[in-house]
Structures are given as C-alpha cells and as structure tokens.
Structure 1
Amino acid sequence: MISLGIIGTNWITEQFIKAVDETKTFELTHVYSRTLEKAQSFIADLKKQNIDMSTDLNDFFKKDFDTVYIASPNALHFSQAKLAIENNKNVIVEKPSTSNIQEFSVLEKLAQEKGLYIFEAARHIHEPIFKKIEEIVDKHRDELSGATFSYMKYSSRYDAYLAGKNPNIFTTKFSGGALYDLGVYTVYDAVVLFGQPEKVEYSAEFLSSGIDGSGSLTLKYPNFDVNIIIGKTKNSYMSSEIYFGRDTLVLDNGGDIHHLDWADDNKNVTDVPTVKSQNPMDSEAREFARIMLEKDSATYDKLLGYARIVNRVLEQARTSAGLVFEADEEK
C-alpha cells in the first residue's frame, strides 16, 4: 500500500481514510493538525495506532510518507500542495484544488518538473453511477441538446453565519461560497460529459460578507446550454436532467448522485440500473492508487485536463459575477 499523510481532521478526511482502508489502497501513517489534541482525537476515533503526528507543517512534510491528502479550507490548498510537491510528495487535494487558475498552473508545472502526481479529488466522477451516465451520454451524443444541474443544500454553517460568526466557508478570505463548494461538482459534471464550454456566465446572490450564498450558472456550448443552480443558503429537491431531444436522463442530484431514470416522450419513466458506492470516496481512492502504481499516464493526463478546465471555468464564472477572493490579490 501507498503511505499516506493527511492534512485536515474533519468528516471528509475521516471518510477518505475509511475509503482507503476499505479498498486497501493507501495506509495512513502521518497526520498534520494545528493542535495535538485534535490529531489524537481524530486517530482515536479511527481506532488507529502508531500514527506519527505533527503540528508543524514543515516538519510534517519532512517525514517519510509518499502521498498527502489535503482537506483544509480552499484558500490553503495552494500553499500546502506547493509545499508538499517541493518536498517530493504526491498530492491528492480536495476540490477545488486552488482559488484561481494561476495557482493551478503553478502546481501543475511544479508537479511535472518533479515527476509527481497531483489529483483533484472530484470523487463523484469516479463512481460507478457516474460512469453509467457517461455511457448513456456517449451512446446518445448525436441527440444531446443540453442539461440542467442542481445542487442546493442548506449549509450546517449558515446558522452560525446568520448569528454573526464568520465560518470559513462563507468568507472570501478562505475562497468559500456556493460556487466553490457545491458548484464545483456540477461544473465537473458538465466538463467531463460535454467538454470545455465556449462561454461562462454566473449570476450570484451575494451575502454581506462578499461571498456567493447561491446563484445560477450558464455554460454555453456550440449547440446547447448547460444551466446550473447552486446554493448553500437554501435547500432544493429539484432533479437534474440531461436532454436528448424527446428523451431525458433524470439524475436525483447534480452532485451527490444516487439514482437515474430515463423518461421518454410519452412520460414513461424507467429506472436505469446502476451501482452506487456505499462510501462515495472508494472509487477515487482505488483509481488514484491504480494510476500511481501502474504509472497510467494516459488516465492521469485526462484527469489533470478535467481539473485544469474546471478550475478555469470556476474563475471565469467568478469574474463574470464580480466575485473576488483575497487569494486573487496575491497574484
């Protein structure tokens, strides 16, 4: 197994560690946290033993492990990933991997120069259910006439924001907001299924902090549009859809996809048989490890290409809406 260090001791890191344990792809050996208490509590909850713990990032990256998984606030991804690569570590970084395309380009170039891997952890595109969507789109590509993706989920941190607190996810300092937290899933949907859009327009509903609480995004392709609805300040139970003229593929969600239906022109709705991963991070853990062990450059280049386009689209969307992150000022 590949030795793994982690940055971040939150729920998503715990889910990733459970995924690598289930798939026997990576072995957790090192943990970085700002406090020793958090690291100890995290390791205890996972029932792990003999895990090296660090509270100093430079010290952490000097340790002997192969790959780091980064799940810190968005604005910290770039500096932590850069330091990791400079210390000869492969990187798996939660989406979005950077705050802007310039940062992404720096990481991509540095990893290439060092002969290392950098993966953006867009876990849902690796799941069997998404592979089924790709199969259907490819089969009916000649009839493809657009899509609508929706991912709106009331944030567990929004009440704290309304109470006058300043959660990271609702600040421009940490590159938060609806687009960069939930919208990235739907942009990945469009990019993987349809390619790079010709034009990007984002209309955002801004909070007083200057961040987007929700919004609507349009990706223009040569023969159709993709419309995206996202939000962290409200819930939506609207399905997502991919259109093929008279027929429609219905997804129960634009980001966390659990079920597919095929609806025809006569309003007949048929269940599309597929498989949903019990742990949604199993598939990406398995794929990242396989690519590294088999040195599968073709698949790696394809995934890196997706990530490059997605990060560019996200920045184009922000620019069109006038959404500025503090990281932009450091260019």
Structure 2
Amino acid sequence: MLQLGIIGTSFISHEFIKAAKLSQKYSLRAVYSRTLTSAERFVQNYGPIAIYTEMVEFLSSDMDIVYIASPNSLHFNQAKVAILARKHVIIEKPAVSRPEEWQELVKLAEEHQVYLFEAARNYHEKAWEKIAAFLKNQTLLGAHFTYAKYSSKMPALLAGQEPNVFSAKYAGGALMDLGIYPIYAAIKLFGAPLEAHYQAQQLPNSIDLNGAGQLTYPGFQVHFQTGKNINSFLPAEIYTNQGTLSLNSIEEVGSAIFKDLDGQEKEIPLEPASHPMLEEARYFARVIEGKDPADYQEALTAASLVHQTLFKLRQDAGIHFEGDTDDHKR
C-alpha cells in the first residue's frame, strides 16, 4: 500500500483521493496546505490525517508518493523539493509551465531513483488502445478535438477579480487547463506534430479565455478547440479514407462509433472505468511496483512532446506567463 501525501486542497484533490481509494493501492497519510483552516476543512471527511503548513515537515513525514494539485506555476518547485526528498511525484496537469522544467524534473527523478508522473487522465484511458488498434489499417485524413467548459471562476473574473486559472502569475488559461486534453489525445494517437498554431480570445494579461488551433502532421491536420468561458458539447471526430470515427469526448471516452463512407455504423466496445481518474491511479501504482517500465518511459516522452507543443501554441498566440524569461517570450 502506497502512503499518499497531497499538496493542494481543491476539488481535484478530493477526486484523486476517491480514485486512489477505488484502486486499493494507496492510503492517505498527509495533507499540505498554505493555510491551516484549509487543510483542516479538507481532511474532515477522511479521519485522522496528518496536516502540515510547512513543506519541510510535510516532506519529512512517512509517505511514499506526493500528489501535487496546487496552482500551475507552483508545480515545478514543489515537485523539485519532493523529488529531492526522495518521494515519488504525481503532478496534476499541466505539470509544468515550460518544457525545460519537465526535462529538469525527469533528470532529477532519475538521479534520485524516484518516479515522476503527469496526471493527464485521458492519456491513460484504456479506450485509446482500442481506438488506435481500430485505426491502424486506415489512412488518416484529419481530426477535430474539442474540450471547452464554462469555468466556475468566470463570475469572479467578470466581477473584476483575477482567479488563479486566469492569472499570468499562476500560468492559467484555457490552453493549459483544458487544451492539454486534446493535445494529449493527438500525441497519444498520432505522435509529435510537425507544426502547431493557436489563435485565442485573450485577456489584457494575455491569458486565453478560449481558442482554436491546429496541429500539422504528414498528410493531415488535427484541429482543436478549447475554452473556459464557453461550453462545447461537440463530439470528437477522426477522419479516415474509410469513414469517420466519432467519440463522445476526448476524455472519459465512453463511446466510439465508426460510420463508413456508405453510412453503415459500427460501434467499438469500450469499458470506461468507474471513476475518470481510476485508470491513471492504477497506472501510477503499477509503475512503482515495477510492472510497466516501457510504458513509463513512453509516458515521460509523451509528456515532453505535449509540453513542447503547448509552449509552441502559446508562443504562437502571444500568451505570456510571469515566469517566462525574455527568451521564452520571443
């Protein structure tokens, strides 16, 4: 049983704890928050859990693995100190703000003989294996992936506040928060794009509210749309020389229906997990148990490609974070 520590007390941390419990591989041991009241409120439904407001004390406690779900721009430094404390680290997506940060964490984790994961849940869904197998003998002609969801923080933004998810200081915006899902789906199925472009509706601080982009591959393009001030209910579509594959979503994929050029439909049988984060929670535990070394290296590479692509996309749109240097802004 892996002894689990949590950094960050938002909704997503509660959801990961649910998935971790369902996996029967983790036991919640400790919670870190910058404020005592937030930590106390967070653990009230979990029994006697140790709480900390000092990072050094938290990382000195008896745990094996740390799940980090703090604001985006804090991920890198928190992951770094956790790795130096020889803890395995799971970082909620986006794991980092810039691709070189991911490379540094990968190197550091290897040096300290611990595992590093980005919690991009759709990448680990078993549905993608069946989808990839179905597409294997078809010629790809393009795809359209969408993930846009109206943010609960929009009222605060409209009232003149600057929530973390719309802050340049905290590396916020639609692309980093939700756009990462279609990027992961594209790289999972098609690999690294040749080119990446993104246009967005942006705030004065350059952070994107919504946008659309394209990833160019040899012979086809993947168009994607994302947003935090809009809702989209569009399916995902993949176009081939034999027809169109429609998915209900690019995360929590529950249905996949192929309609051939004559209009005949075929459903790919899928078995979604009982919780959207369960498959990734199981995967993290398997890797630590030494059962998936090849998949682990593949996931590290995929995350690297995702963050290189995200960086190109936000450069193209002119999205700047406070942590960017002048070189990063060019």
Q: 2:166 aligns with which of 165, 170, 176?
A: 170
Task: Quote the Cα distance in structure 1 between the aligned partners of 2:270 and 2:42.
Answer: 34
Q: Is residue 15 of structure 1 aligned with residue 15 of structure 2? A: yes
Structure 1 counterpart of 2:44, one-letter code: A
Q: Percent identity?
A: 43
- Quote the offset at 1:268 in angstroms: 3.2
Residues 218-257 of structure 1 aligned to structure 2 (within 5 Å): 218-257=214-253
Q: Secondary structure at the match of 1:215?
A: strand
Task: Quote the Cα distance in structure 1 between the aligned partners of 2:253 and 2:270.
Answer: 11
Instruction: Report the equivalent of 1:277.
Output: 273
Task: Quote the Cα distance in structure 2 between the aligned partners of 1:82 and 1:134.
Answer: 34
Q: 1:104 aligns with which of 81, 102, 119?
A: 102
Instruction: Report the equivalent of 1:82.
Output: 80
Instruction: Report the equivalent of 2:196.
Output: 200
Task: Quote the Cα distance in structure 2 between the aligned partners of 1:295 and 1:78.
Answer: 27
Q: Is residue 321 of structure 1 aligned with residue 317 of structure 2? A: yes
Task: Quote the Cα distance in structure 1 between the aligned partners of 2:6 and 2:95.
Answer: 15
Q: Secondary structure at the match of 1:276?
A: coil
Instruction: Report the equivalent of 1:216.
Output: 212
Structure 1 counterpart of 2:264, one-letter code: N
Task: Quote the Cα distance in structure 2 between the aligned partners of 1:271 and 1:159.
Answer: 40
Structure 1 counterpart of 2:92, one-letter code: E
Q: Deviations over 1:216-239 (max 9, x none)?
A: 111111111111111111111111
Q: 2:155 aligns with which of 133, 155, 159?
A: 159
Task: Quote the Cα distance in structure 2 between the aligned partners of 1:254 and 1:231.
Answer: 14
Task: Quote the Cα distance in structure 2 between the aligned partners of 1:17 and 1:149.
Answer: 29
Task: Quote the Cα distance in structure 2 between the aligned partners of 1:153 and 1:233.
Answer: 7
Further displaced range: 202-211 or 254-263:
254-263
Task: Quote the Cα distance in structure 2 between the aligned partners of 1:129 and 1:224.
Answer: 23
Task: Quote the Cα distance in structure 2 between the aligned partners of 1:231 and 1:103.
Answer: 25
- Quote the offset at 1:171 in angstroms: 1.0
Structure 1 counterpart of 2:153, one-letter code: R
Task: Quote the Cα distance in structure 1 between the aligned partners of 2:109 and 2:237.
Answer: 37
Task: Quote the Cα distance in structure 2 between the aligned partners of 1:255 and 1:296.
Answer: 22
Q: Is residue 189 of structure 1 aligned with residue 154 of structure 2? A: no
Aligned length, in residue pairs: 327
- Quote the offset at 1:263 in angstroms: 1.2
Q: Secondary structure at the match of 1:326?
A: coil
Q: Deviations over 1:245-282 (max 9, x none)?
A: 24111012233433221111123334332111221111
CA contact (8 A) 1:200 1:313 kept: yes
Instruction: Report the equivalent of 1:136.
Output: 134
TM-score, normalised by the number of residues in structure 1: 0.95
Structure 1 counterpart of 2:13, one-letter code: T
Instruction: Report the equivalent of 2:40.
Output: 40
Q: 5+ residue gaps in structure 2?
A: none
Task: Quote the Cα distance in structure 2 between the aligned partners of 1:137 and 1:169.
Answer: 36
Q: 1:119 aligns with which of 117, 127, 133?
A: 117
Please identify runs of 4+ aligned residues in structure 1 that moved more than 3 A: 268-271
Q: Secondary structure at the match of 1:225?
A: strand
Q: Deviations over 1:126-153 (max 9, x none)?
A: 2232332222233x3x422211101111
Task: Quote the Cα distance in structure 1 between the aligned partners of 2:41 and 2:131.
Answer: 39
Task: Quote the Cα distance in structure 2 between the aligned partners of 1:39 and 1:30.
Answer: 10
Task: Quote the Cα distance in structure 1 between the aligned partners of 2:265 and 2:175.
Answer: 31
- Quote the offset at 1:295 in angstroms: 5.1
Q: Secondary structure at the match of 2:325?
A: helix
CA contact (8 A) 1:182 1:255 kept: no
Task: Quote the Cα distance in structure 2 between the aligned partners of 1:273 and 1:247.
Answer: 18
Task: Quote the Cα distance in structure 2 between the aligned partners of 1:128 and 1:108.
Answer: 25
Further displaced range: 20-29 or 267-276:
267-276
